[in-house]
Structure 1
Amino acid sequence: MKRGFEVVSKDKEQALNLPYRSTTNAAGYDFEASKDFVLPSIWKANFLKVIWLLHHNKIVTEADLVSGSKDLKPFLVPTGIKAYMQNDEYLLLANRSSSPLKWNVILPNGVGIIDADYYNNESNEGEIYFQLINMGLRDITIKKGERIGQGIFMPYLQADGKDERAQVRKGGFGSSGM
């Protein structure tokens, strides 16, 4: 088994679809949401207040900034899927081209990287989540089974020499540091 997908243990009874290529020559495997998920709009709460204050050259307090920034964070949409691959590969997570058009949804950093050692980690079994931000004016509900992103298996190269700082993965999402 070189590379592929499995359903995580906690979702085995959920009748989830494994990621799939929608066309014969598609590079990406489409991932679906494993459950209904409400993705809040960034245009809620103090975010608009902070923009208004800045636009009108008003004083913006630290409390305004902290309160306003909480609405800008990405949310983790679960897939119920984990991926296995060779040690010199990773799974690149990307937007589907229709996601920004359909929902005004983006990945905040443009892509996600799933390392080979994320598979079956002790923290979350390697479940893949898509970090999403809703740029639309209203909250949206992503329904279970709706396609939320795509994954592309990619090889990578390493620099010469041993990286003395590299450690064995001990956890799930974000475990290699923030």
Structure 2
Amino acid sequence: MEKKRGFEVISTYKNKDIQLPTRATKQAAGYDFEAAEDVVIPSLIKHVLHYKLADKTQKGIKPTLVATGIKAYMGADEYLQLANRSSNPLKRFLLLGNGIGVIDADYYGNDANEGHIMFQFLNIGFTDVVIKKGERIGQGIFLPFLKADNDQALQERTGGFGSSGK
């Protein structure tokens, strides 16, 4: 049987007890992703209050990447959309730094990082948030996409995270 779409553990996390994403219920659209390791998401508010804005602290204000240890394979006309858990902003003040994540089909198996899926979080709360290994952090939804008439792709993927924007 030919593989259509799914998840695999990346090689560097093979022996680290990583769970493949699953849907929580029969009607769930998204596959729940778990954190592959413990990570602290620092409070942006605490950071800004600690430093004066005139000190050009923007270099230190950036999303924290949370590793999943997972890669996804899919058809050439599909992508995996990464979305936040609905409880993250409400209960933990965690936002996805990029709004939603887009994992392209050609991200799978790239030379730079093997297609490792990571979630970008910003913490808008007053205290740092600790995410523990195995904790559900976000969802992935496989979706088809359409191409414009006379579409011309400019290049082949040559890297990992953020490489198609170069």
Q: Same fold, TM exceeding 0.5?
A: yes
Report what 2:49 is aligned to: 48
- Alpha-carbon contact 1:5-1:19 (below 8 Å) kept: yes
Cα distance, 1:71 vs. partner?
4.2
Shift of 1:102: 2.7
CA distance in 1, matches of 2:108, 2:65: 18
Structural RMSD (CA): 1.6
CA distance in 1: counterparts of 2:15 and 2:91, whole angstroms: 29
Give the TM-score taking structure 2 as reference length.
0.93
Q: CA deviation at 1:70?
A: 3.3
Other-structure match for 1:153: 142
CA–CA separation in structure 1 for the residues paired with 2:21 and 2:128: 26
Q: Which has the larger radius of gyration?
A: 1
Match 2:14 to one of 4, 8, 12: 12
2:157 — aligned with what?
169
State the 1:126 CA deviation: 0.2
Alignment correspondent of 2:111: 122
Q: Tell me the equivalent position of 2:23.
A: 21
Moved over 3 A (4+): none
Q: List alignment gaps of at least 5 residues for structure 2.
A: none
Q: What's the counterpart of residue 30 of structure 1?
A: 32
Q: How does 1:92-131 map to 2 (within 5 A)?
A: 92-131=81-120
Q: CA deviation at 1:99?
A: 1.2
Q: Post-superposition shift, 1:49? A: 6.2
Deviation sequence 1:57-101 (CA, Å, 0-9, x none): xxx64xx2x22x234311110000000000000000001111112
Alignment check: 8 A CA contact 1:78 1:130 kept: yes
Paired residues, what number?
A: 164
Q: 8 Å contact 1:18–1:31 — kept in the other structure?
A: yes
User: What does residue 136 of structure 1 align with?
Assistant: 125
